[in-house]
Chain A
Amino acid sequence: MSAFADLAPGAKAIAAPRTASASPLLGALCVGVVAIMLFPLLMCFSASIKTAQEASAVPPHYWPSALSVENYLKVFHYQASLPVYLANSFAVAALTILLCLGLGTPAAYGLARFPVPAKEFVFLVLLSSLMVPYQALLTPLYIMAASLGLANTYLGLAIVHTVVQLPFSVYLLRNSFEETPRELEEAGIVDGCNSLQLLRWIFLPAAAPALITVTLFAFIASWNEFIAALIFMNKETAFTIPIMLVGVRQGHFGAIDWGALQAGVVVSIFPCLAIYLLLQRHYVSGFLSGAIK
């Protein structure tokens, strides 16, 4: 978990207690916290690899007595089948990323590098969906989507997810473009670049970390988003993964298939965990620079 090491390199934490004797106790506390945090995830995974029968056993067991892929097979073959739902989720996320980058990058560039008239007002308009909770806009957005033929389409849901993610994207990219050294820009101007070429050859490479962070956040937000997906994707073949889980839980004859549900949860969590573990540095830095400050 190295990304957390260098939030402020060199700064000794104010929180460090002086006495060395506290150390074993703190270590033990850490172990306790880690155990509590990991328990649900471990148990979820454990249930997912039990046999279906054991996963629904009363009383339950912590660990499987026999390993089985039965639950995963059930999720795989659930209704339109898992690949369809995965494809839906990935497609919506990909479109959301495209929209956030495609709209956010030029907007942030314009605000960061040009004397735009009423600049802060323009910026505030772009951030307006921060103040209006998107949950309140779902009714008009749904009616719009339906009248434009976008209900149950990737684009329809991706637009809602972009409404949610665009402010963060513009905010982060604007900061990043503003921090790009002026010398780099001047070098480009000397080489005869126009503003579009400057963006392409100078600013985009310099803002690569921010672009990665915007992409990561757009993916994770879209992948996990629930209420808009529930409303916009009401056709069985259009479900995203979280909505598939609603269906998996309902099961066939009213009895919940607990093993399949936990297998579904594992599948839904997996991409997020993988991204977090592989690209932690980008994720955490974006979180700190965009979430609040």
Chain B
Amino acid sequence: MNRTRSGYVGLLYATPALLFVAAFVLYPLLQLFLTSLTNSSLLGGSEYIGWRNYLRAYRDATFWRALIFTCKYTLIITPILMILGYLAALLTLSAKRFGKFTRGVVFLPVVIGLGSSSFLWFWLFDEQVGLVNKLLKDLHVIAQPIVWFVDADLGLAAVTASIVWKVVGFGMILFVAALQAIGDDVNEAALIDGASYWRRIAHIALPLTWRTILLTTLVSAIGSMLAFDQFYIMTAGGPESQTFTSVYWIYQNSFIYFKQGYGAALSVILMAIILTGSALQLFLMRRGQRA
């Protein structure tokens, strides 16, 4: 079989998947742009209005509040996830007795649905029947039950706690793999030098796992920028629309208010933001490069 022909055979194998991507990713993407230039509504009717949706987004205080809130959420939760994930990796690698078991348990919530875990934590944080208040009371941390979801900051704290529980194992497992990939010789050389534990972590482990840390941070931050389930289920955007995330506000416009033209414009803006992050991610995970 000559090379060119063989190349086209290969392309033929990829054709169904390419057609799928063309039909359900690229074509909708084009539609998204076109819709964002219209005032089209799920209730019917659509006309071209140019860039007016984008202008409107620029003046939409709720959109800005949602975007800023999403960034705030991302900036709060990402470092917590990375630091706790790294510490969990170190702990479960160091502890001889329960290390591996602990690792398995910490990773366990990662396989659970975000919806399921949000309903679980919505209940745990309920001011009346929730066990978080009961536990805090039994431990004498609080005297009166806290009403978590009437305050934006408390609501954010509750959501953050639930997500840390849910995804801390994600970072941990990647950090474990990166730490284990550091060769024994490096480690032994450091031991011979008599470097203390935390010095070894700071001067050897951290620099050598830097790329994994960076990538995990990016993936995690992108995920947080797209948060929806946990806020939809736990805070419902409240109180007073203070905990709407970007995706939530898009959902609200497109599917609750039926303003899909405007929702499309908001989606394009969000996509531009995410694209910057994920382009960086793809660049870092180029094939052939290993952490």
A interface vs B, CB < 8 Å?
1-5, 7-8, 10-18, 22-23, 26-27, 29-31, 33-34, 36-38, 40-41, 43-44, 47, 55-60, 62, 99, 102-104, 106-107, 109-111, 113-117, 120, 122, 125-133, 135-144, 159-160, 162-163, 166, 170, 195, 220, 223-227, 230-231, 242, 245-246, 249, 258, 261-262, 264-265, 268-269, 272-273, 275-276, 280, 283-284, 287-288, 291-293
Contacts and interface: CB of A to CB of B under 8 A. Distances in A.
A107 B7 contact: no
A60 B134 contact: yes
Contact of A59 (B134, B215, B232): B134
Contact of B183 (A11, A141, A226, A291): A11
Contact of B25 (A44, A103, A137, A275): A137
A38 B112 CA distance: 13
Contacts of A58: 128-129
A204 B190 CA distance: 44
Contacts of A125: 18, 21, 26
Given A58-B129, A227-B251, 12 more contacts: A11-B181, A15-B205, A17-B197, A30-B92, A33-B91, A37-B105, A56-B129, A110-B11, A129-B21, A140-B27, A166-B17, A226-B113
Nearest to B200: A14
A135 B14 contact: no
A279 to B, nearest CB: 10
B102 A34 contact: yes
B271 interface: yes
- Main SS of chain A's interface residues? helix
Given A106-B17, A139-B260, A30 B97 contact: yes
Contact of B16 (A107, A117, A265): A107
Contact of B111 (A36, A136, A272): A272
Contact of B10 (A62, A116, A130): A116
Given A43-B124, A140-B35, A7 B180 contact: yes
A29 B267 CA distance: 44
A273 B285 contact: no
B160 interface: no
Nearest to A272: B111
B236 to A, nearest CB: 11
User: Which residue of A43, A55, A62, A111 has the most chain B CB atoms within 10 A of its CB atom?
Assistant: A43
B115 A245 contact: yes
Going nearest first, the 6 A-B pairs with the smallest beta carbon separation are: A114-B10, A1-B104, A224-B113, A110-B13, A107-B17, A140-B28
Q: How many residues of B sit at the interface, in one of the four size bands? A: 35 or more
A116 B15 CA distance: 11
A5 B92 CA distance: 11
B12 A110 contact: yes
Contact of A288 (B92, B119, B177, B205): B177
A258 B255 CA distance: 28
A36 B164 CA distance: 12
B6 A12 contact: no
Interface stretch (B52-60, B149-157, B274-282): B274-282
A99 B23 CA distance: 14
Nearest to A6: B180
- Main SS of chain B's interface residues? helix
A227 B247 contact: yes
B184 interface: yes
B275 A1 contact: no
Nearest to B7: A115
A31 B98 contact: yes
A135 B25 contact: no
B3 A223 contact: no
Contacts of A5: 100
Nearest to B204: A14
Given A131-B275, A227-B251, A273-B112, A280 B104 contact: yes
Contacts of A276: 108, 111
Contacts of A38: 105
Contacts of A26: 91, 94-97, 99
B37 interface: no
User: Which residue of A44, A122, A140, A220 has the most chain B CB atoms within 10 A of its CB atom?
Assistant: A140
Given A26-B95, A111-B14, A117-B7, A139 B35 contact: yes
Contacts of A131: 274-275, 278-279, 282
Nearest to A27: B97
Contacts of A288: 173-174, 177
A126 B291 CA distance: 23
A224 B200 CA distance: 40
Contacts of B210: none
B165 interface: yes
B129 A102 contact: no
B282 A130 contact: yes
Given A13-B93, A23-B97, A284-B173, A136 B229 contact: no
Contact of A14 (B31, B126, B205): B205
A227 B118 CA distance: 13
